C-alpha cells in the first residue's frame, strides 16, 4: 500500500515534467521511483524477518481487574524496522471484544525488545488476547504491507470475594467425616491418582467391599483396596455446575458466577470450615476436587476454576460424586449453578442476578 500523499506528489511532479518539460521535475520523478522500489524491497525483506513471541498468560497487575501482558518482538534481519503497528484485542469467553490496544514500535537490525500492555476488564474470568495481523512501514511511511498472523494468549481476571453471612451449625462443626481416599493432585485423573503406592494396600478380611480397587486388583492378580483417610475430612462439599448460560451477556453472567463461588468459599474459610470445591471436567469426563483449608488453596482452586471448560447441558453432580466416591461422607452439600441459584441439598437458598448479586448474598441466610 502506497501512502496517498506521496502518490499525489508523484503525479504532480510527473504532470509538471510533461507539461512544462521540466528536467528538474523529471529527475525528481525518477528519484521517486527509485525511492519507491527501495521502500518495497525494505518492507518485503522485513516482513519475513519480524518474529513475535507471545507468552502463555498475562500476570495480574497491582490494581484489581488488571492484567499485564508482556511479549517480545524480534528483528532477525540486517535492515532496521522504522515502524511497525500492532493491534491486540482482549476477547471474553464468548469471543466478544472487550478492549482494543494499538502499539507502534521500531527496532534496529538484529535486535529484540519486550513490550508490556495493561488490559482491564469489569468482569472476572479467563479472557484471550489475540493478535491477528501487524503492519510494517518503510522509511517515511511511503509503503506499508500487512502480514497475517494468529497469536493467542490469555489474561486471567480474579473475582473479588464479597462477605456472605454463613453460619456453621453444631451438627456440621462436630461432624466427623470419613473419606474414600486421600485427595490426590487435582490435575491427575482418579484412575491415575490411584496408582500411588501409599494409597493402595492388600485386602484384609475386615475391609469393606466398597474399598476394593477392581482395576488394580485385576492387573496385579490379588485384591487391593484404597486406604481410607479418616484423619483428613471435609465438612462441606461445594458443587459448581459449569453449564454454559443462555444469556446474551454471558461474560457478565459467568463473572457473577465466579464471584459468588469465590465469596462462598472465602466466607467458609473465614469460619475455619474446610471444604471441597467440586466441578465436572469436560475434557477428562470426571469430577475435579480441590480442598480449601487456607488462602493459598483457595487461590489455587479459583485459578483452576477460571480455567474450567463450560458445557452445554447441566450435570447431576451429586450422582456423579456418589459414583466416583461411594464411601465419602459429609455434613452438608451446596450446589451453585451459572444461573446464580444456590441449593443446599434439595432446598434453594437464594436465586440472584448479576445486577443484584452482592445485595442478595448479603441478605441470604446460609446455615451449614
Q: Answer whether residue 186 is part of any domain.
A: no
Q: Answer whether residue 358 is part of any domain.
A: yes
Q: Which residue has the cell 448479603?
A: 362
Residues 126, 27: one domain?
no
Phi and psi angles of residue 318, each rounded to the nearest 5 degrees, phi first: -60, -45
Q: What is the pLDDT of residue 26?
A: 75
Q: What is the pLDDT of residue 199?
A: 60
Residues 239, 359: one domain?
yes
Residues 172, 321: one domain?
yes
Q: Answer whether residue 185 is part of any domain.
A: no
Q: Answer whether residue 41 is part of any domain.
A: no
Residues 23, 69: one domain?
no
Residues 173, 150: one domain?
no
Strands (E), 247-355: 275-281, 286-292, 332-337, 341-344, 347-351
Residues 88, 221: one domain?
no
Residues 141, 13: one domain?
no
User: If you write DSSP's letter for every residue of 8-69 in order, what string do you get?
Assistant: HHHHHHHHHHHHS--HHHHHHHHHHHHHHHHHHHHHHHHHTTEEEE--SB-EE-SSTTEEEE
State how many domains the chain has. 4
Q: Answer whether residue 245 is part of any domain.
A: yes
Note down the domain range covering 241: 166-180+229-367
Low-confidence ranges of the chain (pLDDT < 70): 1, 3, 5-6, 9-10, 13, 15, 58-64, 174-199, 206-208, 210, 227-234, 247-249
C-alpha distances out from residue 132 to 53, 204, 341, Å: 13, 62, 38
Cα–Cα distance, 44 to 136 (Å, whole number): 9
Residues 329, 263: one domain?
yes
Q: What is the pLDDT of residue 284?
A: 80
* pLDDT tens digits, one per residue of 57-104: 766 655 567 888 888 889 888 888 888 899 888 888 778 888 888 989
Q: Answer whether residue 311 is part of any domain.
A: yes
SS3 172: helix
Residues 219, 236: one domain?
no
Residues 126, 234: one domain?
no
Q: What is the pLDDT of residue 239?
A: 92
* pLDDT tens digits, one per residue of 218-253: 778 788 877 654 334 567 889 999 888 876 668 888
Amino acid at each position: 500500500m502506497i501512502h496517498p500523499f506521496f502518490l499525489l506528489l508523484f503525479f504532480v511532479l510527473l504532470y509538471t515534467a510533461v507539461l512544462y518539460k521540466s528536467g528538474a521535475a523529471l529527475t525528481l520523478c525518477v528519484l521517486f521511483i527509485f525511492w519507491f522500489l527501495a521502500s518495497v524491497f525494505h518492507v518485503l525483506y522485513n516482513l519475513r524477518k519480524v518474529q513475535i513471541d507471545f507468552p502463555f498468560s498475562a500476570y495480574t497487575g497491582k490494581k484489581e481487574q488488571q492484567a499485564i501482558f508482556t511479549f517480545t518482538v524480534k528483528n532477525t534481519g540486517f535492515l532496521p524496522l522504522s515502524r511497525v503497528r500492532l493491534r491486540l484485542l482482549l476477547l471474553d469467553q464468548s469471543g466478544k471484544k472487550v478492549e482494543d490496544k494499538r502499539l507502534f514500535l521500531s527496532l534496529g537490525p538484529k535486535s529484540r525488545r519486550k513490550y508490556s500492555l495493561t488490559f482491564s476488564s469489569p468482569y472476572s474470568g479467563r479472557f484471550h488476547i489475540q493478535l491477528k495481523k501487524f503492519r510494517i512501514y518503510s522509511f517515511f511511511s511511503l509503503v506499508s504491507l500487512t502480514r497475517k498472523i494468529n497469536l493467542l494468549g490469555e489474561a486471567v481476571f480474579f473475582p473479588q470475594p464479597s462477605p456472605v453471612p454463613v453460619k456453621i451449625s453444631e451438627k456440621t462443626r462436630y461432624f466427623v467425616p470419613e473419606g474414600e481416599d486421600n485427595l490426590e493432585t487435582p490435575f491427575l485423573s482418579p484412575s491415575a491418582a490411584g496408582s500411588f503406592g501409599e494409597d493402595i494396600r492388600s485386602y484384609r478380611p475386615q475391609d469393606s467391599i466398597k474399598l476394593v480397587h477392581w482395576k488394580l486388583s485385576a492387573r496385579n492378580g490379588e485384591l487391593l483396596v484404597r486406604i481410607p483417610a479418616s484423619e483428613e475430612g471435609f465438612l462441606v462439599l461445594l458443587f459448581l455446575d459449569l453449564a454454559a448460560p443462555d444469556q446474551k451477556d454471558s461474560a457478565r453472567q459467568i463473572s457473577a458466577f465466579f464471584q459468588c463461588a469465590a465469596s462462598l468459599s472465602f466466607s467458609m474459610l473465614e469460619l475455619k470450615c474446610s471444604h471441597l470445591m467440586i466441578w465436572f471436567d469436560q475434557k477428562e469426563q470426571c469430577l475435579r476436587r480441590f480442598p480449601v483449608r487456607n488462602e493459598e488453596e483457595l487461590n489455587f482452586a479459583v485459578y483452576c476454576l477460571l480455567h474450567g471448560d463450560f458445557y452445554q447441558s447441566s450435570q447431576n453432580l451429586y450422582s456423579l460424586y456418589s459414583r466416583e466416591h461411594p464411601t465419602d461422607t459429609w455434613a452438608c452439600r451446596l450446589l451453585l449453578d451459572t444461573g446464580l441459584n444456590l441449593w443446599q441439598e434439595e432446598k434453594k437458598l437464594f436465586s440472584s442476578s448479576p445486577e443484584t448479586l452482592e445485595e442478595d448474598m448479603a441478605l441470604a441466610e446460609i446455615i451449614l
